[in-house]
Amino acid sequence: MVSMGQRVGRHQPGGRHQPGGRHQLGERTPAGEAWSASWAQASPLDRGLSAATELEVLARRPRIGERLIKAFLFLCGALSILTTVGIVYELSKESLLFFTRRQWEVTNKPLAQDIEAGWTSFEVGTSGASLRDGALIRVAGELMRVEAIEGTRVTVVRGVGGTTAGAHGAGTVIEMANQVTLREFFGKTDWNPQIGRFGIWSLVNATMMTSVIALAVALPLGLSVAIYLSEYATDRARATLKPILEVLSGVPTVVYGYFALTFMTPLLRSIFGTGVVEIYNTASAGIVMGILILPIVSSMSEDALSAVPNALREAAYSLGATKLETALKVVVPAAFSGVAAAFIVAASRAIGETMIVAVAAGAGPNFTFNPFKAAETMTGHIVRISGGDLSYNSLDYNSIFAIGLLLFFMTLTLNIVSQRVVKRYREEYE
């Protein structure tokens, strides 16, 4: 560096620069001195050549340290990709297990007669769980596929899945395979792992209930707050009110759960009657969740509203519009993309919110549209069943991942939609 500076200094035409400063600065260092000595000895042609080669050397010298640093920093960034890949991979892998795992359920239904190896139709007892058409059953190690059921007489295909058909004595208990199918998962409304019922809709429905209630609270309130802060409040009022509201979103969600259970639920019960409102209910959880996402809506919307240029407001005023008309008919439509994005982000947050619903919404799946009844949401269910020591090779463990995958896609879709909305409907102002 020093030598470069000197070279430039020497080649500069004498007149314009002070002869003192730069030369002295360079020659103070020993390297500079050595270089200037060799420079003085070399012929003019050499000088040009050596300068050129040295420059090339400078440019070409591999900077291993720099490369390593860049590679390390890239890895830091790439870790985020790895996280996403990890999430998708693990969720999918275990979900796949969830849908392929065969769980043997003891039906407590015995064979009513001794059967021979060649029989395809026999009597079974009346007790125990009923068999299903097409179900896979196991009788003392032999697999059979149920073809038809008429009263207590079943017709089967013997020796399925590589097992050999044999003779079985009366009283041998039949086991039935439980396998969760996608059709059952998305087609049924009762979720009860103990008896092999895996209809996701009771959980999704509860999630939707709490989220819709939360949004019904947070969207109008949040937008009103945003309009007030951006259009009506003085700068000073905004500077104090906005951070105070944002404190709300900094409070841990488990605290909101506590608030829902100890304040909102008793309040609802005293208003609507203890007979109507259960101790755990989706309304209480939803309202409190609305308070939680209120600052998200108000803050993001306020940012969007404030970004609308004043010229638009002034134009509206000059046409005789009142402040309200300006706000609702000019400013809010102009900031539509930001406000819509705020709404969608809030919805995504509501769907993924866990602790409030885990504490206040109820601990048991329940397919109901009554907001005063207890119902377990997707997130609440995950928290409840993973609370204990969960064994890795169980349907419960896999079901966490199946629910998680659904949750992941729901929130991801909302987030992507919100980004699209911002991009597509953004009004650009100079």
What residues numbered 68-127 form the site for other proteins, per CB under 8 A?
69-70, 72-81, 83-84, 86-87, 90-91, 94
- The least distance separating other proteins from the CB of residue 360, rounded to whole angstroms, comes to 9
Binding mask 156-195 for other proteins (x = CB under 8 A): ----------------------------------------
Nearer to other proteins, 135 or 359 (CB): 359
Contacts of 181 (CB under 8 A, 6+ apart): 99
Q: Is 239 in the site for other proteins (CB under 8 A)?
A: no
Q: How far apart are CA 78 and CA 56, in angstroms?
A: 33
Q: Token match 């909302």: residue?
A: 414
- The least distance separating other proteins from the CB of residue 404, rounded to whole angstroms, comes to 4
DSSP state of 188: -
* Span from 7-15, 114-122, 270-278, 348-356 in contact with other proteins (CB under 8 A): 348-356
Q: How far apart are CA 299 and CA 253, in angstroms?
A: 18
Q: How far apart are CA 127 and CA 107, in angstroms?
A: 9
Among 340, 345, 347, 395, binds other proteins (CB under 8 A): 345
- The least distance separating other proteins from the CB of residue 170, rounded to whole angstroms, comes to 44
Contact present, 298 and 391 (Cβ < 8 Å): no
Q: Is 135 in the site for other proteins (CB under 8 A)?
A: no
Site size with other proteins, rule: CB under 8 A:
92
* Span from 101-109, 177-185, 335-343, 386-394 in contact with other proteins (CB under 8 A): 386-394
Sign of dihedral through CA atoms 341, 344, 349, 352? negative
Q: Is 387 in the site for other proteins (CB under 8 A)?
A: yes
* Span from 137-145, 196-204, 303-311, 399-407 in contact with other proteins (CB under 8 A): 399-407
Q: Is 204 in the site for other proteins (CB under 8 A)?
A: no
Nearer to other proteins, 281 or 348 (CB): 348
136 membership: H or E segment, kind and range: strand 136-139
Q: According to CB under 8 A, which residues from 27 to 56 bind other proteins?
A: none
Contact present, 350 and 210 (Cβ < 8 Å): yes
Among 35, 191, 198, 259, binds other proteins (CB under 8 A): 259
93 membership: H or E segment, kind and range: helix 64-100
Alpha helices of 251-394 — where are they, by DSSP H? 253-259, 265-272, 282-306, 310-318, 323-325, 332-334, 336-352, 355-360, 378-387
- The least distance separating other proteins from the CB of residue 220, rounded to whole angstroms, comes to 8
Contact present, 163 and 142 (Cβ < 8 Å): yes
Q: Is 351 in the site for other proteins (CB under 8 A)?
A: yes
Q: Is 257 in the site for other proteins (CB under 8 A)?
A: yes
- The least distance separating other proteins from the CB of residue 263, rounded to whole angstroms, comes to 5
C-beta atoms surrounding 316 within 10 Å: 18
Contact present, 340 and 424 (Cβ < 8 Å): no
Nearer to other proteins, 52 or 254 (CB): 254
Q: Is 229 in the site for other proteins (CB under 8 A)?
A: yes
Q: According to CB under 8 A, which residues from 297 to 326 bind other proteins?
A: 298, 319-320, 322-325
Nearer to other proteins, 168 or 381 (CB): 381
Among 51, 173, 312, 412, binds other proteins (CB under 8 A): 412
Q: Is 25 in the site for other proteins (CB under 8 A)?
A: no
Task: Tell me the three state secondary structure of residue 202.
Answer: helix
Nearer to other proteins, 121 or 262 (CB): 262
Q: Is 362 in the site for other proteins (CB under 8 A)?
A: no
Task: Tell me the three state secondary structure of residue 278.
Answer: coil
Q: Where are the beta strands (DSSP E) in 187-237?
A: 191-192, 197-198
Nearer to other proteins, 140 or 237 (CB): 237
Among 43, 66, 182, 183, binds other proteins (CB under 8 A): 66
Q: Which of 372, 366, 362, 363 is nearest to 280 (CA)?
A: 362
Contact present, 339 and 237 (Cβ < 8 Å): no
Task: Tell me the three state secondary structure of residue 310.
Answer: helix
Q: 3-state DSSP helix/strand/coil percent for the chain, to nearest 5?
A: 65, 10, 25
* Span from 96-104, 122-130, 141-149, 250-258 in contact with other proteins (CB under 8 A): 250-258
* Span from 7-15, 132-140, 181-189, 246-254 in contact with other proteins (CB under 8 A): 246-254
Question: How is residue 328 written in tokens?
Answer: 């609702």
